[in-house]
Chain A
C-alpha cells in the first residue's frame, strides 16, 4: 500500500515500486482505486479498463500489470460470482441499489476495493504458484488511509453476518498480516511530514503494518548557509571575476540574483534538516528518492525504480 499527502507523488512512487519489484521474471500488479487514471497518465497509455493489463517490463524479464479498480464493477462481479445475478444486477443498478452500495453505504465501496486487491494477492496459477509476486496499491492519501484500510473491521461490525461480513474479515486478515506493508510518501516539508507522523500513529493504533517512509523529491545540497554568508560578505567582486573566468560575461549583474537563489537554497536546506530530524524521530525505516528535474516521465520512473532497488527494496 502506498499512501502519502496529496502532492507528494504517491502515484509515481507506487509505480516506481511496482517496477522495482518486477525484477528477474517476477510479476507485479499495480492497482489504483480512486478512478483518476493516474497510472495510465504516468505510463502514457490510454485509460486503464477494469481489466489487468501489462503496462511495463522490468529488468531480467519482470512484468508490471496494472488495474484500475472500479467499485461498481467490482460489486456487480461479486454479485455475479455469488448469486449468478446477470440481468437482475442491471435491475438493481436501475433502482439505485448499486449506487447505494458503492457510494453511500458505509464502507462497502472500500471493502470492494480492498477486497479486489486481496483477491489478486491470493490468486494462484494452475501450477500452484501465485499469479502476482507483489500487488502494489496506489492507495488513498494519508489523511484517509487508516479509515480506508480499517473499514473492513467497521463493516464486519455493522454487517454482522453474510458474505460482506465474511469478505470484510478475510480482507482484514490479509491487511493486518506481515505480508502487507503500508508505505507513506512524504516530502521534506513541514505539512507532509506532520501528516506522515499522524498517519503512522493512526496506522499503529489500528494495528495495521507500517512499512517504510519514502522521502520523495530529495534535492542535492549544493551550498549551505555558511558558504552563502561568506559569499554575500566580502566576496561579491571575487565571485563576479570568477564568473568572467568561467566564460560568463556580465557577471556583476548576475551576482546578486545568484546569491539570492543561494540564500533560498540555504534556507530550504535548513528546513529540510529540521524535517529530517522529525522523520528520524518516527523510528520508521526510510527510502529516499531524488528530485527529477524534468518531472516524472517514464524514464524518471525507471530511474526511481533503480534507486529503490539500490536501497534494497526487494530484500
Chain B
C-alpha cells in the first residue's frame, strides 16, 4: 500500500511524498541543482554533500559555494579565493566521476565581467571608479547577482554535466531571484539613462516632464549625496555605457536558465519555525516564477528509537527513581551522604555517575562508605548509581521526545500549507561536518528515506 492509498492519514506526515535524491542526481537530464533557504540551515553542507555523492556515482560535478565554513572549504581545497573551480581530491567510485568546487568571489566576478566586455583602458577607468568599487564590494544585491552570473558562466563552459549551487545568505529568501533583475534593470534603466543624457532626452517631445524631473532630481541627489558622488556615478555610467544592454540580457538569460527543465530547486530547512516559514515562502515564490521545485531537504531532524516511551512517562519514571533514592538515603544514612543525595541537579548526577565509573578516582565519601560498611554497602551504592544513571537516561529521553513533538508541530504546519512538496529528512548529527567522509555520511542520510520512528 502506498501513501496515496491511505484515505485518512492519522499523521499528516505519513502522506508526505518522499524526496528521492539519488534518482535526481543520477538523471543525466539534471544539469543544475540550486540549494536555497534561510541562513544557518545547512545549505552549503547540503550542496557539498550532493556534489560528493553525485561525483562518486559517476557524474562530472562542480559545486559553487558562496560562503562555506572555513574547515569545510579547506578540506575541499577551495579556501583560496581565485574564483575558478578546483578539482577536489579523494573522490571515490568507479563511475569516472569528478568533483570540482569553488568559492564565489563577487568582486572578482564583477571585475571579470567588466574586463570581458570593454577595452582595457575603459576597464581600468571603471575598476578605479569609487562608485564602482563600492557597488562591487557587496552592496544590496551584488552578491546574488554575481552568484547567478557565475552560474551562467559555469553552465556556458559546458565542462560539467551537473552544477550544484549554494545561494547567498540573503536578507530575505527572495533576494537571490530578485536582485539580478533589480541590478540589471537599474544599470540598464531609465534612471541611469537620465543621469547620462539629459540633453538628448530633452530634445524629444513628451520628454519635457522627464527633463524637469531630471534636473530636480539631480539637484536633490546632488544636495543629498554631495556633488562629487553624483559625478562619480555619472563617470561610472558613462564608462559602462557599452555594457548596459548586456546586463539586462544576462539577467534575463540566467532567469530563463533557472526555469529550464534541467534545473531542480531544493529548498533547505531545519524543523524550526522560522526556517520552515522561509521555506514556505520559497516554495510559493518558486511556483509563482515557474521555477522547478524538486522538494524540501529537512536537515537536523531528531528521531528516537524509543519513541513509544512518552516524555511524560519518562519524566515521571525519572522522578520516581530520584525520589526513591532520597528516601533510601534519608532512612539508612547519616547526614554526610545526604548532601549529595538531595541535590537532583543534572550536573550533580553526571558528576556522581562519572565518579562511580572510575573506582581508582573514587570520591572521599565513597571510600569512607566502603571502608566502614564493607562490600554490602558498595552494592547499595552501585544500585544507587545505576538508578541515577537510569534517571539520567530517562530525562534525556524526555527532552528528546519534547524536541520531537515540537519539530512535528512545525512540520505539520508546513505540510498543511504544502502537502504536495516531497521531503528528504536528514538525521541530526552531533557535530559539524568538515571533511569528505562527513559529507559522504550526510549524503547517505540525505538519500536514506524516512527516518526510523521519527
Contact surface of A with B, Cβ cutoff 8 Å: 5-8, 11, 34-36, 38, 41, 79, 83, 85, 88, 91-92, 95-97, 99-101, 103-109, 140-141, 143, 147, 154, 158-165, 189-192, 194, 219-224, 226-227, 229-231, 235, 238-239, 242-243, 245-248, 254, 256-262, 264-265, 267-268, 271, 293-296
Complexed CA–CA distance, A265 and B432 (Å): 15
Other-chain residue from B191, B316, B357 in contact with A227 (beta carbon distance below 8 A): B357
Going nearest first, the 10 A-B pairs with the smallest beta carbon separation are A6-B39, A7-B40, A257-B305, A106-B134, A6-B40, A227-B353, A246-B317, A230-B357, A226-B354, A96-B191
Q: Is the CB of B190 within 8 A of A96?
A: yes
Whole-angstrom distance between the Cβ of A261 and the nearest chain B Cβ: 5
- B 300-311 to A, binary, CB cutoff 8 A, 1 in contact else 0: 000011100100
10 contacts across the A-B interface (CB closer than 8 A): A99-B186, A99-B191, A101-B221, A101-B224, A158-B226, A160-B226, A160-B228, A191-B69, A194-B69, A247-B320
List A contacts of B70 (CB < 8 A): 194
Chain A residues, Cβ within 8 Å of B402: 293-294
Contacts of B183 in A (CB 8 A): 104
Are the CB atoms of A264 and B172 closer together than 8 Å? no
| Inter-subunit contact A35/B393 (CB<8 Å) | no
Cα distance A298–B215 when bound, in Å? 52
Please name 6 further chain A to chain B contacts, defined as beta carbons within 8 Å, in addition to the given A99-B182, A108-B225, A296-B273, sorted by A numbering. A85-B220, A104-B140, A158-B232, A191-B69, A230-B385, A230-B389
| Chain B residues near A296 (CB-CB < 8 A) | 273
| A83 lies within 8 A of B135 (CB) | no
Chain B interface residues toward A at CB < 8 A: 38-41, 67, 69-71, 130-131, 134-135, 138-141, 169, 171-172, 182-183, 186, 189-191, 194, 210, 213-214, 216-217, 220-229, 232-233, 270, 272-275, 277, 304-306, 309, 313-314, 316-318, 320-321, 324, 346-347, 349-350, 353-354, 356-358, 383, 385-387, 389-397, 399-400, 402-403, 406, 410, 430-432, 434
Q: Are B397 and A258 in contact (CB under 8 A)?
A: yes
Interface contact A97-B217, CB-CB below 8 Å: yes
C-alpha spacing A141/B221, complex, angstroms: 30
The smallest C-beta distance from A88 to any residue of chain B, in angstroms, reads 6
From B140, B314, B406, contact of A294 by CB (8 A): B406
Name the residue on A nearest B318 (C-beta): A246
Q: Does A231 lie within 8 Å of B393, measured CB to CB? A: yes
Task: For the complex, give the distance between the alpha carbons of A141 and B134 in Å.
Answer: 20
Cβ contact within 8 Å between A227 and B392 = yes
A5 lies within 8 A of B39 (CB) = yes
Does A7 contact B41, Cβ atoms closer than 8 Å? Answer: yes
Identity of the chain B residue whose Cβ is nearest the Cβ of A255 in the assembled complex: B393
Q: Say how far A92's CB is from chain B's closest CB, in angstroms.
A: 6
Residues of B within 8 A of A219 (CB): 399
Across-interface contacts of B346 in A (CB, < 8 A): 220-222
CB distance from A98 to the nearest CB of B (A): 10
Contact A159-B226, Cβ < 8 Å, known A7-B272, A97-B191: yes
Q: What is the CA–CA distance of A69 and B275 in the complex, to the nearest angstrom?
A: 22
Pairwise interchain contact B40-A8, C-beta atoms closer than 8 A: yes
Select which of B306, B353, B395 is within 8 A of A226 by beta carbon: B353
Q: In the bound complex, do residue B406 and residue A293 qualify as a contact, i.e. CB atoms below 8 Å apart? A: yes
Are A158 and B220 in contact (CB-based, < 8 A)?
A: no
* Bound-complex Cα distance A231 to B391 (A): 12
Q: A163-B224, A294-B406 are in contact. Are A259 and B353 (CB under 8 A)?
A: no
Contact of A34 with B390 in the complex, beta carbons under 8 Å: no
In the complex, which residues of chain B have a beta carbon less than 8 angstroms from the beta carbon of A192? 40
Chain B residues near A243 (CB-CB < 8 A): 317, 390, 394
A35-B172 contact in complex given A7-B38, A223-B389, A247-B317, C-beta closer than 8 Å: yes
Does A107 lie within 8 Å of B406, measured CB to CB?
Answer: no
* 8 Å CB contact of B386 from A143, A220, A239: A239
In the complex formed, the residue of A with least CB distance to B69 is A191
A96:B186 contact, CB within 8 angstroms: yes
Instruction: Kindly provide the distance from the CB of A217 to the nearest chain B CB, expressed in whole angstroms.
Output: 11
Q: Which residues of A contact B233 (CB under 8 A)?
A: 105
Q: How far is the CA of A163 from the CA of B38 in the complex (A)?
A: 36
- Supposing A92-B217, A226-B353, A254-B306 touch, asked if A106 and B396 sit within 8 A by C-beta, the answer is no
Residue of A nearest to B350 (CB): A224
Please, which residues of chain A bring their CB within 8 A of the CB of B274? 11, 38, 41
Contact between chains at B393 and A258 (CB < 8 Å): yes
Q: By the criterion CB–CB under 8 Å, are A242 and B387 in contact? A: yes
Bound Cα distance from A83 to B223, whole angstroms: 10
Given A158-B232, A230-B353, A242-B321, A107:B139 Cβ within 8 A: yes
C-alpha spacing A164/B222, complex, angstroms: 10
Choice from B314, B430, B432 contacting A191 with Cβ under 8 Å = B432
Chain A nearest Cβ from B126, distance in angstroms: 15
B182: chain A residues within 8 A (beta carbon) = 99, 103-104
**CB <8 Å contact, B356 and A230:** yes
B272 contacts which chain A residues (CB < 8 A)? Answer: 7, 295
